[in-house]
Structure 1
């Protein structure tokens, strides 16, 4: 595997080290498209996991955007099998049209997280490299991003169901190509990567450095690293403030000590993080909007309601409609179904359920909680001890915000 310029075992071990701890027998899913960089990741990760008594699973997503996408997914799966790497294929069936790249990225991550849940993997590894990081920095700069956005892609971030890790962000793509060539594989080249209708492709062409070893990409990647260090310091301050002033409950709400939270920039950033968690949203609201809500002391923001006294809960009017209760289903971006439910169930708002309510749980929160229903019968709900002890169903609803509890 260690052809000229390729990453060796010890170097990859060093890249993984700061993303842990991984413990004994780690199970990691690698997102594998069949391109050279994700193939290199799968090969490197499989050796790394085996050396620790664990395993790597190749998560392969058939996006359905090309007529031959299913055949390509099957081919990649066969490559993995031939090398002793377990694989799972997830089909998306996307349609082309507006925003296809963004929809494909979101669908791919959701599908890979389903693979993580299916195989019991707490980590999802992605193969973005130094060139991808440089392009991300430029794209965000052109979009007017602040320091947090200019930090580029994080080496590790929570995605709710798993921790997303990117061990190759500092690696030049030419070195990943060398790993694949040494393994005797001819990677699949996605034609959309040559479509100059996409801004990222035009930027890649302007950089004129496909190997990712030139000074421009190196400088951009280093700038992203500097911003990432700054972001890390800021995130540490926010985490400390949340730890001191807030408690996030598994019923899907938070209690804030508004005096301890304060009204400075760290307080606004902390409230934005909490709003994202309680709403189940993909993104946090702008910190300026969070600061304005703090100044008012009560109100709504991002599908969340802040009440006098510091109760932060989901806004009822913003909740999603009920969804079919299939294993792994997520409702309202907040609650995930674990296990196998009875047939014919849906997940939706608990509403005005006539169940005993503990004194510490506000009635307003109960109406925003998730319930597992079959017709008009409530099968289960978290937080209200229903069903009672001794009558546990083969499934449960768990508060797991789409963007992580406080990511």
Structure 2
């Protein structure tokens, strides 16, 4: 296969990013960890100009990095394109690993591809001993993201844009280039004599981001920076308030549900807090929209985002928020480190004869013991199944027969409730 056409820009006005600048960008995102071969910093590389420049800069910054190149396997030529990128990286003394995604179900292809790409990158980072992944979003990406979020009516949280440092799953995403113009990244590659290629879809105006990229004026881009600064200031104040509300009005339960005190209804940020808790309990990547959360509070019971809100029973006042007992079809091998339903991670031991699946309503009724927890929370618990038999349940779960074997599960929704972002960069 011949190499894709390399973009050769004529403008030489933009200055390359210097090694000192990049080191300063990374210092703002600390902690990153030592330059250790057993814990490399990983870099997501597509082969385009932005990510290739990031790889070059990262390799100058420290010795032990690992480039991760994802082949989405959606086009016949994608495998060779990914292999070509790996060869280019090898020529730069950058070790690279090619990751090939499996077949994806039809419908919502872009979203599925994005989720599958991150899962592959996360797993590769963990396998390599890394807890950090560098991605190449730059200043123009940030401006375009903010413009589109403004169009959708995002609040301060969304208008803070992409964070320089954000926790996702078992790793930390680091975006050191958010203050760098893309022209400077191309200049960095030209100076280093490094080839790159462009995805033709980056010029396709059918995609909203492409149209925004081509149409935004310099003044409109500057407006996005003013908007973001104001949003970040407001959001930092809200984060502190939300942390205080969580401590005062909510109680996390070992079965993966939350007890909410009645006083939360009087708080100004109650909708934001409930939205974040729904994302947590439902194991979702994103919060439900604010209108839907407000409607749920209005009704004081109901389901949203795979979570259910219901009044506490007995003498207690307030509500319980728990994973609904529907859409629990996820089955996964009982392997150490396996994540299940976007909420739990199995810590072992390896049980090749078993699968991880929901306890389910029928088994929850049969195995329930005592009144320590409401019966409605038990069906969504993970359990180890061998054929039609439940052979183990999470070690900290209450309300189930004492003679059931217990195995270690930990909560791992991948999204902290507060303080998940770095406001730098």
The verdict on a shared fold, with TM-score over 0.5 as the criterion, is yes
Structure 1: state its 5+ residue gaps.
209-213
Q: Deviations over 1:285-327 (max 9, x none)?
A: 2334334434544433322122323322111124344344466
Corresponding position of 1:206: 215
Corresponding position of 1:22: 32
Corresponding position of 1:372: 384
Corresponding position of 1:112: 121
Please tell me the root mean square deviation across aligned C-alpha atoms, in Å.
3.3
Identify the range of structure 1 (195-204 vs 238-247) with the bigger mean alpha-carbon deviation: 238-247
Structure 2: state its 5+ residue gaps.
1-12, 313-318, 421-425
Q: 2:269 is paired with a residue of what secondary structure?
A: helix
> Could you say which structure has the larger radius of gyration?
2
Contact 1:250–1:398 (CA under 8 A) maintained in structure 2: no
Q: 1:381 is paired with a residue of what secondary structure?
A: strand
Structure 1 residue corresponding to 2:171, chosen from 152, 162, 170:
162
Corresponding position of 1:242: 246
Distance in structure 2 (CA, Å) of the matches to 1:379 and 1:79: 50
Corresponding position of 1:281: 284
Corresponding position of 2:393: 381
Q: Deviations over 1:349-396 (max 9, x none)?
A: 12335668697554433321111222134354323489x9xx998xx5
Structure 2 residue corresponding to 1:347, chosen from 352, 356, 362:
356
TM-score normalised to the size of structure 2? 0.80
Q: 1:305 is paired with a residue of what secondary structure?
A: strand
Q: 1:317 is paired with a residue of what secondary structure?
A: coil
Kindly tell me the number of residue pairs found equivalent between the two proteins. 392
Contact 2:41–2:133 (CA under 8 A) maintained in structure 1: yes
Distance in structure 1 (CA, Å) of the matches to 2:225 and 2:287: 25
Q: Say whether residues 1:308 and 2:321 are aligned partners.
A: no
Structure 2 residue corresponding to 1:226, chosen from 218, 226, 230:
230
Distance in structure 1 (CA, Å) of the matches to 2:139 and 2:240: 25
Distance in structure 2 (CA, Å) of the matches to 1:94 and 1:190: 21
Q: 1:108 is paired with a residue of what secondary structure?
A: helix
Corresponding position of 1:211: none
Q: Say whether residues 1:181 and 2:185 are aligned partners.
A: no
Contact 2:50–2:185 (CA under 8 A) maintained in structure 1: yes
Mark the CA change 1:82 to 1:225 in structure 2 (over 3 Å): closer, same or farther.
farther
Contact 1:321–1:348 (CA under 8 A) maintained in structure 2: yes
Distance in structure 2 (CA, Å) of the matches to 1:148 and 1:120: 32
Corresponding position of 2:10: none
Mark the CA change 1:379 to 1:13 in structure 2 (over 3 Å): closer, same or farther.
farther
Q: Deviations over 1:194-232 (max 9, x none)?
A: 122211112222237xxxxx5543443443343233323
Mark the CA change 1:45 to 1:254 in structure 2 (over 3 Å): closer, same or farther.
farther
Q: Say whether residues 1:332 and 2:335 are aligned partners.
A: no
Give the Å deviation of 1:122: 2.3
Mark the CA change 1:156 to 1:190 in structure 2 (over 3 Å): closer, same or farther.
same
Mark the CA change 1:230 to 1:70 in structure 2 (over 3 Å): closer, same or farther.
same
Distance in structure 2 (CA, Å) of the matches to 1:68 and 1:339: 39
Structure 1 residue corresponding to 2:272, chosen from 249, 269, 273:
269
Equivalent positions of 1:283-302 (< 5 A) are 283-302=286-305
Contact 1:28–1:125 (CA under 8 A) maintained in structure 2: yes
Mark the CA change 1:74 to 1:401 in structure 2 (over 3 Å): closer, same or farther.
same
Q: 1:313 is paired with a residue of what secondary structure?
A: strand
Structure 2 residue corresponding to 1:12, chosen from 10, 22, 25:
22
Contact 2:104–2:112 (CA under 8 A) maintained in structure 1: no
Corresponding position of 1:45: 58
Contact 1:281–1:402 (CA under 8 A) maintained in structure 2: no
Mark the CA change 1:300 to 1:58 in structure 2 (over 3 Å): closer, same or farther.
same
Mark the CA change 1:120 to 1:67 in structure 2 (over 3 Å): closer, same or farther.
same
Corresponding position of 1:142: 151
Distance in structure 1 (CA, Å) of the matches to 2:206 and 2:121: 27
Corresponding position of 1:36: 49
